[in-house]
Amino acid sequence: MASEVKSTADAKRALEAKGLDPSGLSRIGTRPPLGEYIQQLWQRRHFIWYDARHRASTQNSRMRLGNVWLVLRPLVDSSFYFIIFGLVLGAGGDMENFAAFLLIGILLFRSTSTSIAGGAGVLRANKSMIKAFTFPRASIPIAAVLQATMTAVFTMGVMCFAIVVLPPHEIPTLTWPLLVPIFLIQTVLNLGLMFITARIGFHLPDMANVLGVFSRFLMYGSGVMFPITRYVDDPAAAGVLELNPLYQIIGMMRTVLMDGRVPELRSWLIAAGWAVGILVVGFIFFWRAEESYGRELG
């Protein structure tokens, strides 16, 4: 860093010696102040949106069934887990609609686990763009989460249709529109997690394997495939599990779609508090390493 500052000062002195004013110049690849960085992101919002939309529309273009996999993949996964946990292990117990319980859990968990795993390699996957252009690198994880969100909007529609069609049928109620704010809370959480894993994965590529293990722990600790409260008797352990934001998000979605009730205020506060907190911490954590992303790929 000291050598880079010295070279910048030498370059400015050389320009001054030629009678040129270097006051408006700055070194390429430096980390701008946080406020300026956010402003740069806002100025590039149209590029971020276009990039995300393009990637979302072409992500399955090389497959023969194309975007049909957006429907098939969650249904196949849910069917597999229903056979194992529902029929073989009987994890649903006397639950009336274990199929809907499972489908909601798997789709919402997939959304977050994709952000965790995808973040680990998102910067290196875009190394040609990082090396060729100067722009706030946070644009890349933001575009990736936007792409995943566009896909998730479609799969959420499929999920709602499936739990209505599959017996025992869930009937839409006045609480169903609440899935929108719950979905937005999860999107904020996913973005914060991707900022964190993007920086970690960029500097430590091997962490992708560790993050995969973490995702599996998160899956079993979020009540994705079975109701945790049925297997956890210790109140202290249950209290810790309830602080898991993904556990709350999945539970809130099930409450809205299956029970026809408004989730408790405590659930909203836990989920939203974690989502906003992780986003702020993750964004600053990512921004602080801004200078290294292009340099280490050079």
Q: pLDDT tens-digit profile of 71-95? A: 677 777 767 767 766 666 666 667 7
> 89: helix, coil or strand?
coil
- Structure confidence at residue 4 (pLDDT): 46
Per-residue confidence of the chain (298 residues) as pLDDT tens digits? 444 444 455 555 654 565 554 454 445 557 899 999 999 999 999 989 998 888 777 765 555 555 666 667 777 776 776 776 666 666 666 778 888 898 899 889 988 998 998 888 999 888 888 888 888 999 999 999 999 998 888 888 888 988 898 888 899 999 999 999 999 999 999 999 999 999 999 988 888 788 888 888 898 889 888 788 777 777 787 788 889 999 999 999 999 999 999 999 999 999 999 999 999 999 999 999 998 887 665 5
Nearest by Cα to 12 from 24, 28, 1: 24
Nearest by Cα to 186 from 264, 110, 96: 110
- Structure confidence at residue 88 (pLDDT): 63
DSSP 8-state assignment for residue 126 = T
| pTM (predicted TM-score) | 0.84
- Structure confidence at residue 11 (pLDDT): 52
- Structure confidence at residue 246 (pLDDT): 95
- Structure confidence at residue 253 (pLDDT): 97
Phi, psi angle pair for 284, to nearest 5°? -65, -40
- Structure confidence at residue 62 (pLDDT): 59
Angle at 68 between CA 217 and CA 116, to 5 degrees: 25
- Structure confidence at residue 173 (pLDDT): 95
